[in-house]
């Protein structure tokens, strides 16, 4: 199972993404508890605030968009843990988030990582897809 925390915005405008691929290690169940403790269905509808970070979080087939002011409680625990384990990847050369869909499905035996590592950050073999479609809005 893959956990993604994508942070955009801020006055720098430089996006940062942390990706963690979970295997069947001893910490796996801890991650599931952490993920399931988050209120995924309570997506806030706050008006955007200038220069605040915008977080997109995906795990176990779910996704949510949160302004940084809402990254509290279990969200903060999850984000802090992903940031602690994952290696930050910055900039717009990152693959579009939708390209991560294939491995972001509900955890099953088919796509569960079989390594013994509880958490393995993504290596350099990540796909380098094109950036988001360009052109006048």
Partner 1 sequence: MRHFIIPPYLLAHLADSAGDRFPRAAEAARQALRNDEPVRLARAAHPRYPDFGEGTPRTAFAREPRGPQRTIYDARNAEELPGHRVRAEGEPEVVEDDAANEGYDGLGETYAMFAEAFGRASIDDRELPLHATVHYGREYDNAFWDGERMVFGDGDGEVFTRFTASISVIGHELGHGVTQATANLEYQGQAGALNESLSDVFGALVEQHSRGQDAATATWLIGAELFTDAVEGVALRSMKEPGSAYDDDLLGKDPQPGHMDDFVVTTEDYGGVHINSGIPNRAFVLTATAIGGSAWEAPGRIWYETLTGGSLTETSDFETFATATVATATRLFGAESPERAAVVDAWATVGVPVTE
Terminal CA-CA length for the chain = 35
Asked if residue 94 binds partner 1 (CB under 8 A), the reply is yes
C-alpha neighbours within 13 Å on the C-beta side of residue 32: 11
Residue 29 vs 69, nearer CB to partner 1: 69
Q: Are 98 and 129 in contact (CB under 8 A)?
A: no
- Least distance (Å) from partner 1 to the CB of residue 93? 4
Q: Are 17 and 88 in contact (CB under 8 A)?
A: yes
User: What gap in Å lies between CA 1 and CA 75, rounded to an integer?
Assistant: 18
Q: Tell me which stretch binds partner 1 (CB under 8 A): 11-19, 28-36, 99-107, 121-129.
A: 11-19
Q: What is the DSSP letter of 38?
A: S
| Site map (CB under 8 A) of partner 1, residues 40-79, x = contact | -------xxxxxxxx-x-----------------------
How many chain residues interact with partner 1 (CB under 8 A)? 31
Answer for which of 2, 4, 9, 85 binds partner 1 (CB under 8 A) is 9
């Amino acid at each position: 199972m893959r956990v993604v925390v994508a942070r955009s915005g801020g006055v720098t405008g430089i996006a940062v993404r942390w990706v963690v691929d979970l295997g069947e290690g001893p910490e796996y169940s801890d991650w599931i508890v952490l993920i399931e403790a988050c209120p995924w269905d309570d997506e806030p509808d706050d008006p955007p605030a200038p220069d605040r970070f915008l977080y997109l979080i995906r795990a176990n087939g779910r996704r949510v968009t949160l302004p940084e002011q809402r990254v509290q409680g279990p969200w903060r625990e999850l984000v802090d843990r992903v940031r602690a384990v994952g290696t930050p990847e910055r900039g717009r050369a990152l693959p579009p988030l939708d390209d991560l869909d294939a491995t972001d499905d509900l955890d099953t035996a088919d796509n569960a990582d079989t390594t013994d590592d509880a958490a393995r950050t993504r290596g350099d073999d990540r796909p380098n897809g094109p950036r988001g479609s360009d052109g006048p809005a």
